[in-house]
Amino acid sequence: MSSSSSTCTVLTQPQQVFLSSPSQPTDLHQHYSQEIANTNDVDVISLKNLTGQDDLTESQYEPALNNSDANTSNIMHRRHGATKSPPSSSSQSSLHLMYGSENDPDNFPEGGKDAYLVMLGSFIGLIADFGIPNSLGAIESYISKNQLKDISNAQVGWVFSLNLSVMWLGGVFFGELFDKYGARKPLLAGTILMCLGLVLTAECTKLYQFILSFSILTALGTSIAMSPLIGVLSHWFLRRRALACSIATVGGLIGASCFTIMLQQLYGKIGYKNAIRVLACICFACMSVSIVLVKSRKKEEPAAGMIERTIIEVDASVDLENEATVSTKLKHYFRGVFDITVLKDMKFVYLAVAVSLAEIVSVTTLTYLGSYALAFDVNETSSYLLLTIVNVCGIPSRLLSGVIADKYGRFNVMLGTSILTTIFIFALWYPGKHILLLYVFGVFFGISTSAVLALIPACAGQICSSESFGKVYGNIYFILGVLNLLGMYFASLIISNGSQKSYSQFVLFEGGLSAASIIAWLFARSIAVGWKWCKF
């Protein structure tokens, strides 16, 4: 953009001085030092004071001012008779590692009425949005024995692998929409598609019908709603973001627990169709509340007395945008959505792989654990109870993991939970052929994996700013969607004949994926901070 198309505004206390780029390059220090001197400040702050340079052209001004933030802060404190002790090097390093991607880490409420109402709205919305994918086992175990009993488990598995993949793949498109248009419009669209898909799922009897209504339509709804329900928390919380995400995503565990028990009871009392319709009504009620409570946040201006740049870009692209055709707008949209430059950031790549492996282990286990129990002669009621145990035991663990993650580091906690999950799979699940041992496994598995879904957004927010959170979060879930499609396919292929031997092989497959996630988390962490132990 040409220099003539920009306006650089410097805010000082107590009045504003506007630096407008002239038609010819000028010495900004000479041109504006008198204007700044005319203010009523106790100390005159010249551009030389701010930047440490006498002669600055417009093109040099911004980077020089960027490099002077610490100097500016010290000047302002001296003006008011205060001295500011610099933070210790270890504290400064820790803060930079955790929050360095944010331009202004102090500009987050971290609480208050509005922030807590948004968190409540996210919590209630996630009862439906995360409750559905976390209760797939209750639907899979029923339709595989009834509507789709004449086809193989591998074919039935496509219904649920596609559902999860569409939900996650859609994040790359809808995360960008959240960044641009806020939370409420995507939430409204997601609610309509989600509930309509469930109503149609109640009428399904054929495989293709389940794929169209549940795997695509319902999943699109949950995908559209996911980014604003999770992403909006990054607008209100930074240092307490992991705890906020943990509290909000507990809604998904509560929803999954209630949906699993509810469906198991309603199947026998009112039938499959009415049971799914009841589920759709509950989801509609929860999402309606979230639409009212959840809102994006426009960041506040810095406090008076602090010098802050505001750069307003005005160029020909504004006029072109009004005249752009639909195809041009779509072209620019998809260019923004598929930002392949993130693949050059190895922190992003390893984080996406680690998240994908950990989440695949979690969702495939929840999807097929009920069928696993049935294969080992556990009755249907006990198999549903097993799924409920996994979800319920994850509730206190998810809350605790958020507190621990904010204190000791999000990546550290995710690494630890992957190690525990791997141990539990090989030590408890693989030899677990009796319902009592499966119950024990369900307790520990729920505890160890509950942090995964909650801390994914917190980890993503650690490598990007809140303004680009939706795009980064969406790209992570796009990769997760692709890998999940493969993971669910291989899982369903392993258990295709429904024998006890095939389910035992499935457990080994899960253990292998969990062990691989440990390696991925180690590399994701080492790329950022090396192999030393620190809060990250």
Q: Which domains does the chain have, with CATH numbers?
A: 3-83 (no CATH), 113-299+330-529 (1.20.1250.20)
Helices (H), 409-434: 410-424
* Segments in 3-152 forming alpha helices (H): 28-37, 47-51, 58-66, 69-79, 89-99, 113-129, 136-143
Question: Per residue of the chain (536 residues), what is the pLDDT tens digit?
Answer: 444 433 343 343 333 433 333 444 444 444 444 444 444 443 333 334 444 444 444 444 444 444 444 444 443 344 344 444 444 444 444 444 454 455 555 555 566 688 889 889 999 999 999 999 888 888 988 998 889 988 887 888 889 889 988 888 887 777 667 767 778 888 999 999 999 999 999 999 999 999 999 999 999 999 999 888 887 877 767 677 777 888 888 898 899 889 988 998 999 899 999 999 999 999 999 999 999 988 776 543 443 433 343 333 334 444 445 555 666 666 666 665 666 677 777 888 888 999 999 989 998 998 889 889 988 888 888 888 898 898 888 888 888 887 888 788 888 999 999 999 999 999 999 987 888 999 999 999 998 888 787 788 778 878 777 666 667 777 887 888 888 888 888 998 898 888 889 999 999 999 999 999 999 999 988 887 778 777 77
Q: What are residue 16's phi and psi, to 5 degrees?
A: -95, 140
Strand partners, 311: 8
- DSSP code of residue 16: E
pTM confidence score: 0.65
How far is residue 524's CA from residue 354's CA, in Å, rounded to a whole number? Answer: 8
Residues 457, 245: Cα–Cα separation, whole Å: 7
CA separation for the pair 536, 534 (Å, rounded): 6
**8 Å CB contact between 202 and 273:** yes
HSE, side-chain direction, 13 A CA sphere, residue 107: 16
Q: Is the dihedral of CA 441, 442, 448, 453 positive or negative?
A: positive
Phi–psi pair at 227, nearest 5 degrees: -60, -50
DSSP code at position 207: H
The residue whose two tokens read 């992570």 is 476
Residue pair 384/370 in contact (Cβ under 8 Å)? The answer is: yes
- Other CB atoms within 10 Å distance of the CB of residue 421: 28
The confidence score (pLDDT) of residue 55 equals 45
